[in-house]
Amino acid sequence: MNKNITLEYNDIIKLIPHRHPFLMIDKIENLEENKKAIGIKMVSINEEYFKGHFPEYPVMPGVLIVEAMAQTAACLVSYSNKDYQGKKIVFLTGVDEAKFKKPIIPGNSVSLEVSFLNSRKNFFKFSGKAIVKNQVMAIANFSAMLTV
C-alpha cells in the first residue's frame, strides 16, 4: 500500500540532522513505513576519508558502512512517525554481528537494505546489508534510541 516511497536529498535532510561531509546516504528507495527501506550511497573518490583510508587502495571504512545503514534506519523511523520529524533524533546505540565481506571502493553504488526487527519504547533494532551489484559486502544488526 505505501510501497516504493522514494526520498531524495531534500527529503532526507528534513528527516535526519546529518550534513556533508557526514551524510552517508544520497537517496532512499522502496521505503515501507515501519518495515524497511533501501538507502543508496554513491561512493566517490572525493570522499574525505579516502585521503587517509588507504590512499594507495581506497576502501570505505567499515564503521562508515554501518553508519550509512544507521542513517537509512533513522530515515525509516522518522518518515514512519511524522511526530518525530524535526523534533527527535535517532542515535545509534549498539552494533552486533557486523561482518565485512568485501571492500567497497570508489565508483560503487551501494544499496543499504535495512529492515526493522522490533522496538520497545524509544529503542529500535534493525538488520542491515550493504550490497553492490547483487553481492553482499557487509551485514550488521544494530540498535538505536530515539531522543529529544
Summarize pLDDT for 5-33 with one digit per residue, the tens: 999 999 999 999 999 999 999 999 999 99
Q: In Å, what is the CA distance from 147 to each residue of 10, 62, 93? A: 23, 25, 11
Strand partners, 129: 113, 139
Q: Is the pTM of this model over 0.75?
A: yes
Q: To 10 degrees, the CA torsion angle through 59, 42, 127, 10?
A: 140
Tell me if 80 sits within 8 A of 70, measured CB to CB: no
> What residues act catalytically?
53
DSSP-assigned letter for residue 37: E
Q: What is the mean pLDDT of residues 49-70?
A: 95
CA pair distance 67, 75, nearest whole angstrom: 12
pLDDT score of 43: 98
pLDDT in tens, 73-110: 999 999 998 877 777 788 999 999 999 999 999 999 99
* The C-alpha cell that represents 38 in the structure block: 533501501
CA pair distance 74, 56, nearest whole angstrom: 33
